[in-house]
Amino acid sequence: MSNGPLSGIRIVEFAGLGPTPFAAMTLADMGAEVIRIQRPGLQSLMGLDYDILDRGRGFVELDLKNPQDIETVKGLLASADALIEGMRPNVMERLGLGPDEIHALNPRLVYGRMTGWGQSGPLAHAAGHDINYIALSGALHAIGPQDTPVIPLNLLGDFGGGGMYLAYGVVCALLEASRSGLGQVVDAAITDGTAHLMSMIYAMNQGGAWADRREANILDGAAPFYNVYQCACGGWVAIGAIEAKFYVELLARIGAEAELAKTQMDRSTWPALKQEFAAIFAQKSRDDWDSVLLGTDCCYAPVLTIAEAFDDPHNQARGVFEKGGQMTEPAPAPKLSRTPGGIQKASQSEALNVQEILTKWGSA
């Protein structure tokens, strides 16, 4: 039994892609008892024997086209604290599992909905993926070199603007329901969440401090002191010396002229200085630069591969990753001092007995 902050909270998850299982994972990591409903015989879409996104919770196999199984689902929801689903708008309603039907059954249930475009709006019923959703917010336009936008994996949309906002919204609604006794619908859209994440950039743009084009701003690759550079070994390093005192230290440690500090924010000097910095960093290996810069106030880090990140001393000291039986996986985050989260044990190959769960939850 977990002692995490969500211990005692029961959540029903409808199997889905990307942001929905990620939200369920984060809630399970923090102690919630999450039961995933998936269709019989469903295989991992990634072809994995063990999927990190599905960790910490068991599953039951139910056919949502079968009226008897729909009644079983309603039995689970009658005793649940929350539901999360990632289907297109109105699909749950057509199944007889929409918010109105379920709130009539369980008024205190928090109904979490994850979509790309949202439950309303002209694009609500259109298909899409992460790349489409982040395009609509201006985020994709802002990332990358001048000649082309760069796809930031699906971290920005699916997981940052999507799954984390679903989990956050569900926890907020659970907190309110503990006072009011009433649930509500959480309409989490990746377009909404990504726009919310862009708040600082929007403010800078409208305040005249951010040009609406790529590689023209302090955080988008234009600045020599906030950039990545290739080393003699072929590896890369990341520099983020924005503040003047950090920039002064960087110049001293890499052997650049101290006078450059006087023109740090003169954008006309940036293109030539980037070339100068590139030439300097190309003179040594990444390991050599680590010995000079790592742990200083230069705002420096080596650009690690995934395998290197697993073995990095700082990550190991922090317990960022846990090595389980099948995979190295990120530990629950953030870290709580009194009721920390933990990876709960659950099989990803053997379905739970739904009748036993109904009895346990008091719904049988």
Q: For residue range 8-23, what is the model confidence (pLDDT) as tens digits?
A: 999 999 999 999 999 9
Of 111 and 345, the structure prediction assigns the larger pLDDT to 111
Q: Read off the pLDDT of residues 24-69 as tens digits, 9 standing for 90 and up.
A: 999 999 999 999 999 998 776 677 889 999 999 999 999 999 999 9
pLDDT band at 289 (very low <50, low <70, confident <90, very high): very high
> How much is the pLDDT for 45?
67
Tokens read off for 270: 């940036």
Angle CA 1–158–57, to nearest 5: 20
pLDDT at 1: 57
Distance of CA 361 to the CA centre of its chain: 30
- The mean per-residue pLDDT over the stretch 182-201 comes to 98
Q: Is 125 a catalytic residue?
A: no
Tell me the pLDDT of the chain averaged across its residues. 96
Q: What are phi and psi of 348, to 5 degrees?
A: -100, 5
CA atoms of 10 and 317, how far apart (whole Å): 33
The model's pLDDT over 73-91, given as tens digits with 9 standing for 90+, comes to 999 999 999 999 999 999 9
Residue 250 has pLDDT above 90, yes or no: yes
Q: Which residue has the higher pLDDT, 348 or 289?
A: 289
- Mean pLDDT is lowest, of 57-71, 144-158, 277-291, 350-364, for 350-364
Angle made by CA atoms 286, 288, 289, in degrees to the nearest 5: 65
Mean pLDDT of all residues in 188-202:
98
Q: What is the CATH number of domain 10-197+332-361?
A: 3.40.50.10540
Q: Percent of the chain having pLDDT more than 90? A: 93
**The predicted structure's pLDDT at residue 184:** 98
Range 226-241 average pLDDT: 98
- Dihedral of CA atoms 253, 255, 260, 262 in degrees, nearest 10, equals 40
What is the C-alpha separation between 69 and 198, in angstroms, rounded? 42
Placement of tokens 């990140």 in the chain: 309
Neighbours of 237 (CB within 10 A): 20
What residue spans define the domains of the chain? 10-197+332-361, 226-315
Pairing of strands 82-85, 10-14: parallel
Cis peptide before 334 (omega within 30 of 0): yes
Weakest-pLDDT range from 2-11, 271-280, 291-300: 2-11
In this prediction, residue 3 carries a pLDDT of: 84
pLDDT at 139 exceeding the cut of 90: yes
The mean pLDDT of 273-281, rounded to a whole number, is 98
pLDDT tens, residue by residue, 102-117 = 999 999 999 999 999 9
CATH number of 226-315: 3.30.1540.10
The pLDDT of residue 46: 72
Catalytic residue among 29, 54, 130, 158: 158
Poorest-confidence range of 32-46, 125-139, 253-267?
A: 32-46
295: its two tokens: 């742990």
Q: Residue 103 catalytic? A: no
Q: What is the average per-residue pLDDT within 181-197?
A: 98
Query: Among the options 51, 103, 129, 187, which is catalytic?
Result: 129
CA–CA gap between residue 232 and residue 282 (Å, rounded): 5
